[in-house]
Amino acid sequence: MAKVRTQLVSWEDVVEWSRGLAEKVRASGYMPDVVIAVARGGYVPARLICDFLMINNLVSIQSQHWTEAAKAEERAIIKFPYEVDLSGMKALLVDDIVDTGESLLLAKDFIMRKWKPTDVKIAVLQWISSAAKFKPEYYHLEVREWVWFQYPWTRLEDTYQFFKKMLSEEAKYGKNEWTFEELVKSFMEWYEIDVGDKYFRDAVNSLVRDGFLEEEKGKYKLKL
Per CB under 6 A, the segment of 89-97, 108-116, 174-182, 197-205 that binds ligand AMP is 89-97
Q: How many residues does the chain have?
A: 224
3-state DSSP of 119-170 = EEEEEEEEEECCCCCCCCCEEEEEECCCCEEECHHHHHHHHHHHHHHHHHHH
Q: Are 168 and 192 in contact (CB under 8 A)?
A: no
**Near ligand AMP in 125-164, by CB under 6 A:** 148-149
C-alpha closest to that of 103 among 44, 51, 36, 159: 36
- Determine if residue 116 is left, alpha or beta; phi over 0 gives left, psi from -120 to 50 gives alpha, anything else beta: left
Give the containing element (helix H, strand E) for 224.
Answer: none
Q: How far is the CB of 72 from ligand AMP (least distance, A)?
A: 6
Backbone angles phi, psi at 73, to 5 degrees: -80, 170
- Calpha distance 158→7 (Å, rounded): 12
Q: How far is the CB of 95 from ligand AMP (least distance, A)?
A: 5
Among 46, 65, 139, 191, binds ligand AMP (CB under 6 A): 65
Among 41, 45, 117, 136, binds ligand AMP (CB under 6 A): 41
Q: How far is the CB of 41 from ligand AMP (least distance, A)?
A: 3
Number of chain residues interacting with ligand AMP (CB under 6 A): 15
- Calpha distance 13→16 (Å, rounded): 5
Q: How far is the CB of 66 from ligand AMP (least distance, A)?
A: 4
Q: How far is the CB of 174 from ligand AMP (least distance, A)?
A: 31
Nearer to ligand AMP by Cβ, of 162 and 178: the residue is 162
Per CB under 6 A, the segment of 16-24, 25-33, 50-58, 100-108 that binds ligand AMP is 100-108
Among 14, 46, 61, 66, binds ligand AMP (CB under 6 A): 66
Site residues (vs ligand AMP, CB under 6 A):
41, 65-66, 76, 95-103, 148-149
